[in-house]
């Protein structure tokens, strides 16, 4: 049986043609799967009964099962999904100040990057998600909230560039105009910087919004916070980013979790100004979220110091924003996603 949500429109067309269907049927099926979000082939009423029955013998619609939904005081909604093999993943629906919505998706069960401030990193790695399991999160949440569209950020559990093929495929499926029709402009891929796949991304999906988990511009400090920096050093990542195709009027975002006494010093301001002055980039300062998996080693930089840090960088001509973390009361904010049972 073929998992139909794992197919691009072109792939579905090819399979249907080989089975004797007309090519245009693929677009009709895509519309029912992604615009109407049906979960049963018998509801694809544009097809004759025999065709629907044949489809359900050859394909299946991945049944993403929701185990729980937590709603935060600020309206963020965290979904705990159970996959077919019993693995658990989390996704978050975030209401934005402009009335729009963002869906934060997971790309792996756990993560092998081991960033020290991140609950997912502490879980270890179990497996990559399939394209269908990634697309399924967005499809489910849109349907559950009667939303037609949302921004999609690849910032949940897992390192997207460590699951490259499935992540790219999930984006292509979601971008399909016959289906969810979510444009590239609405998608953001966040990575800690796996240089070989970052290089591939330039060619495969140029002009995608890109966020780099930076967390320190000082190599030794970055290696403490993100051990992966030893394998893929910041210097190499910055080299790849030099000619990364950035969408018009957009910048590469550098994500920066503020850790007291570690990456919030004068040395850090200098290092940030040095690496950012030559790149079309912006710095997004994120207050550290304390959760039980990071223990007591890291403490958050006080809010007033974050403001000062930001101002000193602005004085040097750096574009800086301070993120208002949403969902911290339901462990849905940055670095807090983890499923202890998986």
For binding to ligand SF4 (CB under 6 A), which residues are involved? Answer: 111, 113-115, 118, 120-121, 157-159, 192, 213
Coil, helix or strand for 242? coil
Closer residue to ligand SF4 in complex, CB, 14/233: 233
Closer residue to ligand SF4 in complex, CB, 136/335: 335
Shortest distance, CB of residue 276 to ligand SF4, whole angstroms? 20
Closer residue to ligand SF4 in complex, CB, 120/325: 120
Closer residue to ligand SF4 in complex, CB, 14/114: 114
> What is the DSSP code string of 55-67?
HHHHEE----EEE
Shortest distance, CB of residue 3 to ligand SF4, whole angstroms? 25
Closer residue to ligand SF4 in complex, CB, 213/263: 213
Shortest distance, CB of residue 109 to ligand SF4, whole angstroms? 11
User: Catalytic pick from 13, 82, 90, 159?
Assistant: 90
End-to-end alpha carbon distance in the chain: 26
Closer residue to ligand SF4 in complex, CB, 19/230: 230
Shortest distance, CB of residue 211 to ligand SF4, whole angstroms? 11
When CB distances to ligand SF4 are compared, the closest residue is 121
Instruction: Identify whether 90 is a catalytic site residue.
Output: yes
Distance between CA 7 and CA 30 in Å, rounded? Answer: 10
Shortest distance, CB of residue 238 to ligand SF4, whole angstroms? 18
> What is the DSSP code string of 265-330?
SHHHHHHHHHHHTTSSEEEEEEEPPP-TTSTTS--BPPHHHHHHHHHHHHHTT--EEE-----GGG
CB distance 185 to 174 below 8 Å: no
> How many alpha carbons lie under 13 Å from residue 318 in its C-beta half-sphere?
27
Running DSSP on this structure, what letter comes out for residue 84?
T
Distance between CA 272 and CA 268 in Å, rounded? Answer: 6
Closer residue to ligand SF4 in complex, CB, 80/142: 80
Maximal CA-CA distance, the chain: 70
Alpha-carbon distances of 220 from 112, 240, 261, 268, 296, rounded to whole Å? 20, 20, 14, 11, 21
User: Catalytic pick from 104, 115, 118, 334?
Assistant: 334
Residue 143 burial class via C-beta count within 10 angstroms: exposed 0-12, middle 13-18, buried 19 and up: middle
CB distance 339 to 83 below 8 Å: no
**Neighbouring C-beta atoms of residue 314, cutoff 10 Å:** 12
CB distance 66 to 145 below 8 Å: no
Shortest distance, CB of residue 84 to ligand SF4, whole angstroms? 22
Shortest distance, CB of residue 38 to ligand SF4, whole angstroms? 32
Running DSSP on this structure, what letter comes out for residue 85?
T
**Which residues form the catalytic set?**
90, 334
């Amino acid at each position: 049986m073929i998992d139909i949500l794992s197919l691009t429109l072109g792939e579905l067309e090819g399979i249907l043609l080989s089975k004797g269907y007309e090519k245009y049927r693929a677009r009709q099926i895509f519309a029912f799967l992604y615009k109407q979000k049906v979960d049963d082939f018998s509801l694809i009423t544009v097809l004759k009964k025999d065709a629907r029955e044949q489809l359900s013998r050859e394909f299946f619609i991945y049944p993403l099962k929701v185990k729980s939904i937590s709603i935060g005081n600020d309206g963020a909604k965290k979904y705990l999904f159970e996959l077919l093999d019993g693995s658990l993943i989390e996704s978050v629906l975030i209401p934005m100040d402009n009335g729009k919505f963002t869906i934060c998706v997971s790309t792996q069960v756990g993560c092998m990057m081991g960033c020290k401030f991140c609950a997912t990193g502490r879980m270890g790695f179990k497996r990559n998600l399939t394209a269908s399991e990634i697309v399924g999160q967005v499809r489910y949440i849109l349907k559950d909230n009667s939303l037609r569209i949302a921004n999609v950020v690849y910032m949940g559990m897992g390192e997207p560039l460590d699951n490259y093929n499935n992540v790219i495929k999930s984006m292509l499926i979601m971008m399909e105009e016959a289906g969810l029709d979510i444009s590239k402009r609405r998608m953001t891929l966040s990575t800690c910087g796996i240089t070989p796949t970052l290089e591939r991304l330039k060619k495969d999906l140029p002009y995608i919004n890109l966020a780099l988990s930076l967390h320190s511009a000082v190599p030794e400090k970055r290696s403490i916070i993100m051990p992966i920096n030893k394998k893929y050093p910041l210097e190499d990542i910055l080299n790849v980013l030099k000619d990364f195709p950035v969408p018009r009027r957009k910048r590469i975002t550098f994500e920066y979790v503020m850790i007291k006494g570690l990456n919030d010093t004068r040395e850090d301001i200098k290092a940030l100004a040095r690496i950012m002055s030559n790149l079309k980039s912006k710095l997004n300062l994120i207050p550290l979220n304390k959760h039980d998996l990071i223990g007591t080693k890291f403490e958050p930089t006080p809010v007033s110091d974050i403001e000062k840090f930001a101002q000193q960088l602005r004085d040097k001509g750096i574009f800086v924003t301070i993120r208002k973390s949403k969902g911290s009361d339901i462990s849905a904010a940055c670095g807090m996603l983890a499923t202890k049972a998986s």
